[in-house]
Amino acid sequence: MPLDTALNSLGFAKPASETRVVVAMSGGVDSSVVAAQLKEEGYDVVGVTLQLYDHGAALAKKGACCAGRDIHDARRVAESMGFPHYVLDYENTFREAVIDEFADSYLAGATPVPCIRCNERVKFKDLLATAKDLDADCMATGHYIRREMGPTRAELHSAADANRDQSYFLFSTTQEQLDYLRFPLGGLASKDETRALAARYGLSVADKPDSQDICFVPNGNYAAVIEKLRPGAAEPGEIVHADGRVLGAHRGLIHYTVGQRRGLGIGGLDEPLYVVKLDVDARRVVVGPKEMLATRRVPLREINWLGEGGFADQAEREVLVRVRSTRPPAPAVIRPINATKAEVELLSPEQGVSPGQACVFYETEGTRVLGGGWIWKGH
């Protein structure tokens, strides 16, 4: 083939018809549009949907992905656009890699983010391996994030639409995975554009509501799921002020998170109190004034570095970090301890920084995602 062959829209020097792409289809509008768009462009599209839990039990549940209804929707899109579609049973893998850790993290007083673990351990690991087994040139998803070619390699960048950006949930994507992945929606200006494309392709999911809950947590009731997974987990204990005063009783640590104010059942006090710590060993919920939530130093582990050079090559790095998915990136300094651990110093204190959440790194100028790590209690 001539060296000057133009690259197709997925970055390969061959015709779209000779480029096979596996599309991870959740049954929602985003991944459906990706599959339809690539099929229209002439690619050899193969749709794959993962059955992640007992979809019979979840068939009527709204606001979550990968349930029975969603598998049906993905299949309908594939049929209407004329490409093959497969459903893979990943229920055991999903439970072991995501759900069990979710439950255990809550029991340990953390606030986990299972969607990150699902991307890391299921979608971008096992499903990606399946795509390679199918001889696909790449795998595409409906995530709102951008993959751009830098001077030496593929880079991860936040989405053009800041309101839809999913970079927080994809920080653990490795360089090897990034080389193989494609994110066609990352450059769209808004979700309205995605829905307009769905309507243009005549997709049945064009008006389907977005997923809101974690897929295996109906109605956002984390505690009910954990009690089902870990019977006896909701052991009662004391609610204690940081100064040592016992203020009341709680019905199980799994019902509380750091930063929580409402629903503590300790009204009638002069000052508003917040959960500042969950003492797992003593089964105590520790509360205090809002200023006790302010944190400047954040210990991290399981670092995934996507920047230049080795993570520990520099004593410190100035970056922007996001310590919760709902917060904007803020200035910070990373000080590596080794290749997978670091301490982050926030230049302005943040409230409610909680073990189990992610801390994601961004360039100080521009949109590049440099990786991130998991917040933990430290030594």
25 assigned ligand-binding residue: yes
Determine if residue 26 is labeled as part of a ligand binding site: yes
Is residue 289 within 8 A of residue 274, CB to CB? The reply is: yes
**C-alpha torsion 193→199→204→206, nearest 10:** 30
Q: Would you say 128 is a known binding-site residue?
A: no
Looking at the annotation, which residues are catalytic?
A: 118, 215
Which of 72, 172, 86, 79 has the alpha carbon at shortest distance from 131? Answer: 86
Q: Where are any strands of DSSP class E within the chain?
A: 20-24, 44-51, 85-89, 138-140, 145-149, 154-158, 181-182, 237-241, 246-250, 274-279, 284-288, 294-305, 317-322, 330-336, 342-351, 358-362, 368-375
Q: Pick the closest to residue 139 from 93, 177, 105, 98 (CA basis).
A: 177
Q: At what angle do helices 100-107 and 222-229 cross, to 10 degrees?
A: 100
Binding site annotation covers 30?
A: yes
Is 24 annotated to bind ligand? yes
The reply to whether 280 sits in an annotated binding site is no
Tell me which residue of 118, 145, 133 sits closest to 53, measured CA to CA: 118
Phi/psi for 39 (5° steps) reads -65, -45
What gap in Å lies between CA 212 and CA 86, rounded to an integer? 25
Residues present in the chain in total = 379
Please tell me whether 29 is known to bind a ligand: yes
On the 0-12 / 13-18 / 19+ scale of CB atoms within 10 A, 361 is buried
Residue pair 175/305 in contact by the 8 Å Cβ criterion: no
Q: What are phi and psi of 277, to 5 degrees?
A: -165, 145
Residue 105: DSSP 8-state: H
- Is 68 known as a binding-site position? no
Q: Which residues are annotated as a binding site?
A: 24-31, 50, 142
Q: Which residues are annotated as a binding site for ATP?
A: 24-31, 50, 142
